[in-house]
Amino acid sequence: MRDDFDDRPATETTLDAGIRLLHVDDDRDFLEMAAAFLEREPHPLDVVSVTCAGDALDRLATDDVDCVVSDYDMPDRDGLALLDAVRDRDPDLPFILFTGKGSEEIASEAISRGVTDYLQKGSETEQFTVLSNRVVNAVRSYRSRRALEHRETRLARAQRIANLGNWDWDVQADTLRWSTQIYRIFGVAPDEFEATYEAFLEFVHPDDRDRVRRAVETAHEGGDAYDLEHRIVRPGGETRIVHEQAEVVRDDDGDPTLMTGTVQDVTDRVERRRDLKVFREAVEHAGHVIYWTNPDGVIQYVNPAFEETTGYSRAEAVGATPRILKSGVHDESVYAEMWETITAGETWENDLVNRRKDGTLYVVHQTIAPVTNDRGDIVRFVAVNAPRSQQSVASWPTAASDARLDGVDDPDS
């Protein structure tokens, strides 16, 4: 079966296009007559004719076939045996038993073995019009199912990547339908969990349960949606954090009939956010001067210790360069070596003399480290200044007054 239609909308045009029919009958004259009619019916079919079941199975192994039409009484293998062999290969491929030796017993047996349709041969040419319609309808249904399955597979893959699932809750029947990914998020298998609202609440962390219940009740009583994060507890005791969004569907009287929404596991994101908050608080309360610049040396952040030590406010420093701290004490070779080191991806460390906003000088032990992204590109430089209060500025020889002090300014300046 070709997958030509799986990625396109299931329109009538795509569902009927290019149908290849494998017709199996030991009567060559009948095959030729059937092909002549079927290839010029309102829905022309591409007919491949074979005279025995063995040849049919060989064709199925090498050709793309959309439907099999088979006689029942054939010398090497009857139509039901061929049906069994086809079903072993593809449980859903359309298979129509088109026979002149029919009976209720054969029809019943064919249905039990998974035949798509059963049609009795006739003496009039109208039988081919009927057959053509049956083939087109069977293939259309088959392609629609495959397209839906393909879309569902892609959706499931996307949900797995995003760690996000969707659900629908029939409020009146109290039946809850979860996508496969939600079962994964909650750590249960579909056959282990009877999806109801109350059963869902049992997964919610006890300390969050009232808040979740109130959000749902508020949405039911008049709100159109809710959006919240809460904890769940998996059967093994593991706590995860999920982000839920939902909307309410109402009937003509305004009563809620359906709630539909999504659940996303955001545990890692929340933990990273918490870690970042802890890191930011640590930097903000650090006793050392900490600041960072973009790769061009423009300051993007300074901590309170920077403001206190240098006399420059955050508003004055951000958008400037570390050139504002230059003292004129150091020789250019110091900064050339600094720039070469950090742009090569290495950490630079040394003592420096800086100048405050009020013009006074002070000595620091400065460390500058490059920060890279996943591709190895430098995205910022982070500088940490530890005070050297015991060291006298007077002990430093004065260099040219325009010497670069920061080490992350434009290296050509």
pTM, rounded to two decimals: 0.52
pLDDT given at position 392: 58
Residue 44: count of CB within 10 angstroms of its CB: 12
User: Do 129 and 195 share a domain, yes or no?
Assistant: no
For the ranges 210-219, 327-336, 403-412, the maximum mean pLDDT occurs at 210-219
Q: How far apart are CA 97 and CA 84, in angstroms?
A: 12
Taking only the tens place, the pLDDT of each residue in 388-397 is 765 556 566 5
Of 107, 131, 157, at which residue does a domain stop?
A: 157
User: Do 147 and 207 share a domain, yes or no?
Assistant: no
Q: Are 289 and 362 in contact (CB under 8 A)?
A: no
Q: How far apart are CA 178 and CA 201, in angstroms?
A: 14
pLDDT given at position 347: 95
User: Do 21 and 107 share a domain, yes or no?
Assistant: yes
Q: How far apart are CA 18 and CA 3, in angstroms?
A: 12
CA count, 13 A, side-chain hemisphere, 89: 19
- Domains in the chain, number: 3
pLDDT given at position 318: 96
User: Do 142 and 183 share a domain, yes or no?
Assistant: no
Taking only the tens place, the pLDDT of each residue in 117-142 is 999 888 788 899 999 999 999 999 99
Residue 180: count of CB within 10 angstroms of its CB: 15
Cα dihedral: 264, 267, 270, 271 (round 10) = -160
In a domain, 247, yes or no: yes
In a domain, 277, yes or no: no
Is residue 287 pLDDT above 80, yes or no?
yes
Q: Which residues contact 65 (CB under 8 A, 6 or more apart)?
A: 1, 20, 21, 22, 48, 59, 93
Q: Are 72 and 97 in contact (CB under 8 A)?
A: yes
CATH of the domain at 295: 3.30.450.20
User: Do 95 and 210 share a domain, yes or no?
Assistant: no
Report the relative pairing of strands 378-387 and 289-293 from DSSP bridges. Answer: antiparallel
User: Do 146 and 90 share a domain, yes or no?
Assistant: yes
User: Do 358 and 334 share a domain, yes or no?
Assistant: yes
pLDDT given at position 103: 78
E strand or H helix at 36: helix 28-38
Taking only the tens place, the pLDDT of each residue in 72-119 is 999 888 999 999 999 999 999 999 999 887 678 888 899 999 999 999
Is residue 409 pLDDT above 70, yes or no?
no
In a domain, 137, yes or no: yes
pLDDT given at position 396: 60
Taking only the tens place, the pLDDT of each residue in 155-209 is 778 777 778 888 998 888 888 888 888 899 999 988 777 778 888 899 999 999 9
pLDDT given at position 273: 87
Domain that holds residue 142: 12-157
* Helix residue ranges per DSSP H, 66-165: 79-89, 104-112, 126-162
User: Do 147 and 188 share a domain, yes or no?
Assistant: no
User: Mean pLDDT across the chain, nearest whole number?
Assistant: 85
Is residue 13 pLDDT above 50, yes or no?
no
E strand or H helix at 355: strand 348-355
For residue 182, the 8-state DSSP code is H
- Mean pLDDT for 243-263 is 88
